[in-house]
Amino acid sequence: MSGISEQSAKPAAHPVSDAVGWAWGMLGDVLDGPFRALQKHIGANKMAYVFLLPNLLVFGLFSFWPMILNFYIAFTGGQSVILAERPFVGLGNFRELLDCPSYLDPKTCPVAGFSFWTGIWNTLFFAVVQVPIMVVVALVTAIILNRDIRGRGFWRAVYFYPVMLSPVVVAVIWDWILKRRGILNALLEDATNGWNSLITTRPFAVASVFLIGFFAGHLFLKVLPARLKPLYETQFKPLMLAAGLAVVTAVMMLQGSSFSFDWLALPDYRPVNWLIDTRSGWPMFWVIFVYTWAHLGFYMLILLAGLQAIPKDLYEAAEMDGTPKSRAFWRITLPLLMPTMIVVLVLSLIRAFQVFDEVYVLTGGGPGQATKMIIQHVYESAFIGDAKRYGIAAASSVLVAGILLILTLIQLTATRKKAGG
């Protein structure tokens, strides 16, 4: 972050900022009375505690205390929100979650365990697929934006824009696109029909023959013994071969030959129920796609900042040394970007593990349980349905927190190692 000198460059006199400054001063003066009296009483140094107090109160009550409470609730049963009314059940909740013959097959678990393990496996699958894809795409985008691109600010802003949108808005947008009678199906249907009618036309056939001829000619050149090459190259160029074939085809067709590329025809398009289709992987695919769509820009931005932080004179020095550019990329860019990459990887992994909003609004975890994530399991155990199983939810949270803690520790050691090495 820049220092304080920047703002001192602003001109002092401005009616609006003057008015704001005046109001600011007034507010401060009004509050100054009591604080000054307090300071007289307890001394200047103790004022630190006064400044800390509001934060500590809120933090303690709504972060620290719940963290401890969570453990306790995990060992209690019943449906009451009043602690005193919750019976102690020992490891009962955990047993319900973990007592499975096989974790790989959630159906063998008790009801709560089924929901839990379905969520875990779905979330794991989601994270393992989504994170690498997103990071790679973000990296490629960042690298491209880091070139001498015109209008970098514009591109960067557009890619970042979805990050600003709320998960609900994102879900509504994509739900609208992915409906059975939605624009995506309409476009695909049009494209299929267009293709199927295109391949029956004569120009298409001629052009295809030309292309095939051209590539066949090149291939021929590759396999030809070196001795014969000069002859072939002077006599038939691949282009000539292609043109010749094309002309022959055209003539044949004019003569009425039924030469056709019908075999390229696609089957008639049948609209897909992208988000509801139970027999395909499409719902999970789109969940991953939409989530990536919404969050890519953030990681792209971080990686771009990392790339731009690499001093340019390093590249200039490498150029002076005659280092090939590919080598400069592998030996300068990537190593120096590594710390940022690790931050991005782990951050996105932690976030992916907590995915809820987008998925919940988009698919509601469906179809069936196909896209039900672990946080949805926690949420639904506690807040949905008639049986409010707070104990199960808390116990699940403890397990999830354990997983996240491990991820975080990995991040910390990784970053520490990077910083140290």
Partner 1 sequence: MSTLELKQVTKTFGATKVIHGIDLAINHGEFIVFVGPSGCGKSTLLRMIAGLEPVSTGAVEIDKAVVNDVPAAERGLAMVFQSYALYPHMSVRQNLSFGLENLKTPKPEIERRVAEAARMLRMEKLLERRPGQLSGGQRQRVAIGRAVVREPKIFLFDEPLSNLDAELRVQMRVEIGNLHQRLGNTMIYVTHDQVEAMTMADRIAVLKDGRLEQFGKPLDLYNRPANLFVAGFIGSPRMNFLSGKIAAVRNSSVDVALDAGGTVTVPCAADGALAGAPVKLGVRPEHIRLTDGKEADVKLSVTLTEQLGGESYLHGALSSDEALSVRLAGQTQVKRGDAVGLMLADPALRYLFNGETGKAFPPLA
Partner 2 sequence: MITTTDVSSFLTRRRSPHGWHWTDWLSYAYLAVGVLLVLLPIFWMFMSSIKSPRALVENDPRLLPYEQLTIPAADGSRQLGVFIWTKPDGSKADVAFVGPRGANARVYELANPSEIIEVPRTALARKDIIQPRFENYTDPTIGSTQSRTFNFLRYFWNSTFVTVVATLLTLVVNAMAAFALSKYKFRGRDAMVIVIVSTLLIPPTVILVPLFMTVSKLGMLNSLWGVIIPAIATPTGVFLLRQYMLTIPDELLEAARMDGASEWKIFWRIMLPLSLPALSVLAILSVMWRWNDFMWPLIVLTQSEVFTLQLGLSTFKGELNDNMHYLLAMTVLTLLPVTLVFVFLQKHITTGIANTGLK
Using rule CB under 8 A, residue 356 touches partner 2: yes
150 backbone dihedrals φ, ψ, rounded to 5°: -75, 140
Site for partner 1 in 26-45 (CB under 8 A): 44
* Residue 235 interaction partner, one of partner 2, partner 1, none, beta carbon < 5-8 Å per kind: none
Please, which residues have CB within 8 angstroms of residue 95's CB and are 6 or more apart in sequence? none
Shorter beta-carbon distance to partner 2: residue 253 or 414: 414
Q: Which is closer to partner 1, CB of 5 or CB of 55? A: 5
Side-chain half-sphere exposure of 18, counting CA atoms within 13 A: 5
Does 235 help bind partner 1 (rule: CB under 8 A)?
Answer: no
Q: Is 404 in the site for partner 2 (CB under 8 A)?
A: yes
Distances (CA, A) of 331 to 37, 63, 126, 195: 62, 44, 32, 46
Measured between alpha carbons, how far is 83 from 71 in angstroms, rounded to an integer?
12
Residue 399 CA to residue 66 CA, distance in Å, equals: 16
**Minimum distance of partner 2 from residue 99's CB (angstroms):** 21
Nearest residue to 188 (alpha-carbon basis) of 198, 178, 174: 178
Contact characters 370-389, partner 2, x per CB under 8 A: -----x--xx--xx------
Of 1, 2, 9, 386, the residue at the interface with partner 1 (CB under 8 A) is 9
Q: Which of 73, 284, 288, 359 binds partner 2 (CB under 8 A)?
A: 73
Number of residues that bind partner 2 (CB under 8 A): 121
H or E element that contains 35: helix 15-42
Tally the residues of the chain.
Answer: 421
> Per CB under 8 A, does 2 bind partner 1?
no
Residue 212: half-sphere exposure toward Cβ, Cα within 13 Å: 10
223: contact with partner 1 by CB under 8 A: no
Residues 297 to 336 in contact with partner 1, rule: CB under 8 A: none
- Of 1, 2, 13, 228, which one interacts with partner 1 (CB under 8 A)? 13
Q: Are 210 and 241 in contact (CB under 8 A)?
A: no
By CB under 8 A, residue 345 contacts partner 2: no
- Can residue 315 be called a binding residue for partner 2 (CB under 8 A)? yes
Rule CB under 8 A: say whether 69 interacts with partner 2: yes
Pick from 10, 147, 222, 279 the residue near partner 1 by CB under 8 A: 10
Q: Of 350, 392, 323, 326, nearest to 78 (Cα)?
A: 392
Half-sphere exposure of 258 (CA within 13 A, CB side): 1
Q: In this chain, which stretch among 9-17, 108-116, 134-142, 373-381 interacts with partner 1, using CB under 8 A? A: 9-17
Q: Which amino acid is residue 151, in one-letter code?
A: G
Binding to partner 1 (CB under 8 A) within 44-83 occurs at 44
**Given 1, 2, 11, 226, the residue binding partner 1 (CB under 8 A):** 11
How far is C-alpha 10 from the chain's CA centre? 39
Q: Which residues bind partner 1 (CB under 8 A)?
A: 4-5, 7-13, 44
